[in-house]
């Protein structure tokens, strides 16, 4: 974060200073919302301010005395702590600490003034963000959203990480209710705003896909006169945001049809990674991805479209995409044994991403095993969406479907429907699923020489990463046992 004085924080947030007025000249080099950052070392956090957020189930105001006792000199609060009135601490009292967080973040962004892209969409936005960051890092210093810091708290915290060394900011924006993206876009004020796609995700907060489209379209409301609006030409419901594009420069991308930027001649290698031709206004180039999944071609085309707006060359795009590293829990490929692959896609799931994962799995040779946990926030049609995934997996000739949870029972039912040979099994407990999986793997590996591909998918609430880790551990233990036997 750039250095701000207490007086600047007061001006930005319209705060009232409770405490010695001379504290207004104090310098703040970091603003945090997690009280655990503070410890007993007073000098280490001399320039750190604490902002006390309040939510439905928590109120960080109660930690204010604790952080002050640990050396914090500046706190941003909704009410002053009378017990600290005589302490050597600046209490900045604001109406709403969440809004104050956003105001400070927007001010930091304004002062640094990096070239900025805001990215939203129902799926793939994290991958697009990482791809864009990899490309733009060839042109300058890039700040990108970490993890899933993409909501009305995460976006401001991301902006606070900006400093004067940053040339670019790549900001991911998610939402689970109307108005959230409008709010965060107002803070970010992107030079380029992107909608990657529209799909069935977070339907509980939006009602239906039309609601999702309207919510994602809010990202275009924060574009300035010289801003560029980018969206996936293949996406339905674009009429829900077209009115926001009047007077703005608009470009499209596609992985199916011709657009301002599009792909063609897609092929997959033995690991499922794509090779394709990228078509742009600068010309064409051949792109090779190092992350699996044909659907990542669409993400790469979106990333290329963004990078072109910031002056990247085709060589920058080619080399940037080639070095882009997989995001943890998103199609991470593990070679567990000479004949066994695990694709860990456990980070999150919705209808379209689950279908894309199933399609990737079906591209691998040998026995295919899809392990699916519940997909969350799909609204009243959740069971039908799970059934649709099961039916889709059956159509792809995936051999085994193991499901875990409550809603995923419908995926198993869809997989087994009208097919006496289908091998779908549902489990309510993780241990039971793993026991069945390991029994299946033992049988396959002992009795045949065929390859095996396993893919794990589910929403974050399903904690399918624990299933993926259990599989990895099982194979590691098997290798250790084998090594010991060989030594003996």
What residue numbers does the annotated binding site cover? 121-127
Under DSSP, the state recorded for 397 is: T
User: Which sign, positive or negative, has the C-alpha torsion 91, 93, 97, 101?
Assistant: negative
Structure-token match 């990333």, residue found: 303
User: Hey, what's the torsion of the CAs at 479, 482, 486, 488, to 10 degrees?
Assistant: 120
Residues 336, 472: contact at Cβ < 8 Å? yes
- H/E element holding 51? strand 48-51
Q: How many CB atoms lie within 10 A of CB 376?
A: 19
Residues 478, 445: contact at Cβ < 8 Å? no
CA separation for the pair 477, 336 (Å, rounded)? 11
Under DSSP, the state recorded for 366 is: S
> β-strands 4-5, 273-280: how paired?
unpaired
Q: Which residues are annotated as a binding site for ATP?
A: 121-127
In the chain, DSSP finds a helix count (H) and a strand count (E) of: 15, 22
Which of 233, 238, 217 is closest to 118 using CA atoms?
217
Helix, strand, coil fractions of the chain, as percent rounded to 5: 40, 25, 35
Distance of CA 136 to the CA centre of its chain: 18
């Amino acid at each position: 974060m750039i250095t701000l004085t207490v007086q600047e924080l007061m001006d930005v947030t319209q705060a009232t200073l409770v405490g010695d007025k001379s504290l207004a000249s104090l310098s703040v080099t970091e603003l945090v919302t997690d009280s655990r950052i503070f410890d007993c070392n007073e000098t280490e956090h001399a320039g750190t301010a604490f902002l006390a957020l309040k939510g439905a189930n928590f109120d960080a105001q109660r930690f204010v005395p604790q952080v002050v006792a640990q050396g914090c000199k500046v706190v941003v609060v909704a009410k002053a702590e009378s017990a600290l009135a005589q302490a050597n601490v600046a209490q900045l009292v604001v109406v709403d600490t969440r809004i104050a967080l956003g105001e400070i973040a927007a001010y930091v962004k304004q002062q640094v003034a990096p070239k900025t892209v805001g990215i939203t969409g129902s799926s793939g936005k994290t991958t697009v963000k990482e791809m864009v960051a990899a490309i733009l890092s060839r042109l300058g210093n890039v700040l990108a959203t970490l993890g899933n810091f993409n909501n009305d708290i995460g976006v401001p915290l991301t902006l606070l990480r900006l400093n004067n060394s940053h040339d670019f900011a790549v900001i991911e924006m998610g939402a689970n209710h109307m108005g959230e993206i409008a709010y965060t876009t107002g803070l970010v004020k992107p030079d380029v705003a992107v909608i990657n796609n529209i799909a069935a995700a977070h339907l509980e907060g939006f009602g239906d896909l039309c609601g999702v489209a309207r919510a994602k379209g809010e990202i275009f409301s924060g574009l300035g006169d010289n801003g560029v609006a980018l969206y996936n030409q293949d996406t339905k419901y674009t009429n829900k945001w077209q009115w926001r594009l009047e007077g703005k420069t608009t470009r499209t991308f596609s992985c199916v049809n011709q657009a301002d930027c599009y792909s063609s001649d897609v092929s997959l290698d033995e690991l499922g990674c794509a090779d394709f031709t990228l078509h742009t206004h600068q010309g064409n180039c051949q792109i090779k991805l190092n992350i699996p999944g044909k659907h990542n071609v669409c993400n790469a085309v979106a990333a290329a479209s963004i990078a072109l707006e910031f002056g990247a060359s085709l060589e920058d795009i080619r080399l940037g995409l080639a070095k882009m590293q997989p995001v943890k829990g998103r199609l991470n490929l593990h070679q567990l044994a000479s004949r066994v692959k695990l694709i860990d896609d456990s980070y999150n799931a919705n209808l379209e991403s689950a279908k894309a994962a199933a399609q990737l799995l079906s591209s691998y040779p040998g026995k295919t095993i899809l392990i699916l946990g519940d997909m969350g926030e799909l609204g009243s049609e959740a069971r039908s969406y799970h059934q649709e995934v099961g039916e889709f997996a059956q159509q792809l000739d995936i051999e085994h479907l193991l499901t875990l949870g409550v809603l995923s029972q419908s995926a198993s039912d869809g997989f087994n429907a009208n097919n006496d040979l289908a091998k779908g099994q549902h489990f309510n407990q993780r241990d039971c699923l793993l026991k069945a999986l390991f029994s299946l793997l033992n049988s396959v590996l002992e009795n045949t020489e065929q390859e095996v591909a396993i893919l794990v998918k589910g929403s974050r609430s399903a904690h399918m990463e624990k299933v993926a880790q259990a599989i990895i551990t099982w194979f590691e233990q098997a290798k250790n046992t084998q090594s010991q036997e060989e030594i003996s």
